[in-house]
């Protein structure tokens, strides 16, 4: 199952922030269930309660539609700054791990265990990549370009993907930081799947900058 998770930075009229989750429940990743909830403005961007609550409903829908529960869950988390990553790991990823562990009162179901891959998505990056056509001629890279060595932080699991073709100005790639991974999919497979998910945005036949 593929899951997208986001949290608004701005407050609504009631002074609260919105959490939004979308999860797939068909084998082709074309059908999805969406859920939203609100959190107090004091819990800025980090609150495991709503995440586990929305994940429970997503799993209920998956079970209802498919007749079984997913063995693997890939979660893409947006709107996270570098300073919040550690808190996100502790307050969301690790608590989701407990929720999906099949043990204890905080688990979704006793004896049901799913493996989790939790990724942070950041499209606001300063990186720029170009293809060298000649000594003085540089172009934006072709769609699907992946950078996972040399310029990435070797102390963490991260990579860049350039999903779109841009013919005006220079484009910025999207950064993916895997902060928790129990699935251990080979990097080239995870990168390919992530790139293909950028083509799933409705009413648009091209790629967008993030998985959709």
| Measured distance CA(120)–CA(203) in Å, rounded | 25
What is the reported pLDDT for 141?
85
User: Taking every pair of C-alpha atoms in the chain, what is the biggest distance, in angstroms?
Assistant: 63
- Of the listed ranges 12-16, 32-36, 156-160, 171-175, the least confidently predicted one is 12-16
What is the reported pLDDT for 118?
96
| pLDDT bracket for residue 42 (50, 70, 90) | low
Cα-Cα-Cα-Cα dihedral sign, residues 44, 91, 84, 194? negative
Pairing of strands 115-122, 174-181: antiparallel
Q: Tell me the pLDDT tens digit for each residue of 112-139.
A: 999 999 999 998 888 888 888 777 788 8
CA dihedral of residues 61, 187, 6, 79 (deg, nearest 10): 180
Cα-Cα-Cα-Cα dihedral sign, residues 149, 155, 161, 167? negative
- Give the per-residue SS3 of 62-80: HHHHHCCCCCEEEEEECCC
């Amino acid at each position: 199952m593929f899951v997208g998770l986001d949290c608004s930075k701005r407050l609504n009229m009631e002074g609260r922030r919105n959490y939004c989750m979308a999860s797939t429940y068909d084998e082709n990743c074309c059908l999805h269930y969406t859920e939203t909830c609100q959190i107090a403005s004091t819990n800025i961007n980090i609150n495991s309660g709503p995440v586990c609550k929305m994940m429970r409903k997503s799993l209920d829908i998956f079970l209802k539609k498919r007749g079984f529960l997913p063995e693997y869950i890939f979660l893409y988390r947006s709107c996270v700054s570098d300073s919040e990553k550690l808190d996100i790991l502790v307050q969301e990823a690790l608590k989701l791990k407990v929720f999906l562990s099949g043990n204890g009162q905080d688990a979704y179901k006793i004896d049901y265990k799913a493996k989790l891959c939790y990724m942070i998505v950041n499209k606001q990056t300063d990186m720029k990549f170009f293809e060298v056509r000649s000594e003085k001629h540089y172009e934006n890279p072709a769609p699907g370009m992946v950078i996972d060595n040399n310029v990435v932080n070797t102390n963490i699991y991260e990579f860049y993907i350039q999903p779109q073709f841009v013919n005006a100005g220079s484009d910025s790639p999207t950064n993916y930081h895997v902060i928790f991974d129990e699935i251990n999919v080979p990097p080239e497979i995870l990168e390919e799947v992530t790139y293909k998910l950028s083509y799933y945005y409705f009413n648009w036949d091209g790629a967008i900058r993030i998985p959709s």
